[in-house]
Amino acid sequence: MERASVLIVDDEEQLRKLLARTIGLEGFSVQEASSVRSALKKLEQEEPDAVLCDVRLPDGDGVDLVKAIKAHHPLVEVVLLTAYGTIADGVQAVKNGAFDYITKGDDNARILPLLHQAVEKARSARRAKEAQAKGGAYTFDSFIGTAPPLLAAIALGRKVAATDATVLLLGETGTGKEVMARAIHAASRRAKHPFVAINCSAIGRELLESELFGHVAGAFSGAVRDKRGHFQEADGGTLLLDEMGEMPGDLQAKLLRVLEDGTFHRVGEAKVTKVDVRIIAATNRDLRQEVDAGRFRSDLFYRLAGFQLHLPALRERPGDIALLARHFIGIFAARDRRTIAEVEPAFIEALCRYPWPGNIRELRNVMERSVILLDGETLTAEVLPAELRFGDRPPLPALSLAAMEQAQIAKVLRHTGGNKTEAARLLGIGLTTLYRKIEEYGIG
Torsion from C-alpha of 267, 272, 278, 283, nearest 10 degrees: 30
Q: Name 129's Cβ contacts closer than 8 Å, sequence gap at least 6.
A: 75
**Fold (topology level) of 5-130:** Rossmann fold (3.40.50)
Residue 1 has pLDDT above 60, yes or no: no
DSSP 244: G
Residue 395 clears pLDDT 50, i.e. is over it:
no
To the nearest 10 degrees (0 to 180), the angle between helices 87-95 and 62-72 is 10
- Look at the chain and count its residues: 444
C-alpha–C-alpha distance, residues 202 and 200, integer Å = 6
pLDDT tens digits for 156-190? 999 999 999 999 999 999 999 999 999 999 999 99
Instruction: List alpha helices for 135-229, DSSP H.
Output: 148-161, 177-186, 205-213
Predicted confidence (pLDDT) at residue 31 exceeds the cutoff of 80? yes
Q: How far is the C-alpha of 133 from the C-alpha of 42, rounded, in Å?
A: 26
Tens of pLDDT, residues 83-119: 665 555 666 666 677 888 787 765 567 788 888 878 8
Q: What is the pLDDT of residue 135?
A: 45
Long-range contacts of 419-426 (CB under 8 A, 24+ apart): 419/3, 419/27, 420/27, 421/27, 422/1, 422/3, 422/27, 425/365, 426/365, 426/368, 426/369, 426/372
SS3 181: helix
CA separation for the pair 419, 99 (Å, rounded):
24
CA dist., res. 94 & res. 96, Å (int): 5
**Is the whole-model pTM more than 0.75?**
no
Residue type present at position 382: E
Supply the CATH classification number for the domain 315-441: 1.10.8.60
Instruction: Collapse the DSSP code of 279 into the 3-class scheme (helix H, G, I; strand E, B; otherwise coil) and give the result.
Output: strand
The structural domains of the chain, with segments of one domain joined by +, span 5-130, 137-312, 315-441
**Nearest by Cα to 172 from 392, 363, 353, 426:** 363
- For residues 211 and 133, what is the distance between their CA atoms, to the nearest angstrom? 28
pLDDT at position 397: 44
Identical fold between 5-130 and 137-312: yes
pLDDT at 12 over 80: yes
φ, ψ of residue 28 to 5 degrees: the values are: -80, 150
Pairing of strands 56-57, 60-61: antiparallel
Residue 214 Cα distances to 113, 127, 270, angstroms = 20, 24, 13
Mean pLDDT of the residues in the chain: 85
How is 12-39 classified by DSSP, letter by letter?
-HHHHHHHHHHHHHTT-EEEEESSHHHH
Which CATH number, 3.40.50.300, 1.10.3720.10, 3.30.930.10, 3.30.1220.10, labels domain 137-312?
3.40.50.300
Q: What is the pLDDT of residues 236-290, one digit of tens each?
A: 999 999 999 888 888 999 999 999 999 999 998 889 999 999 999 999 999 999 9
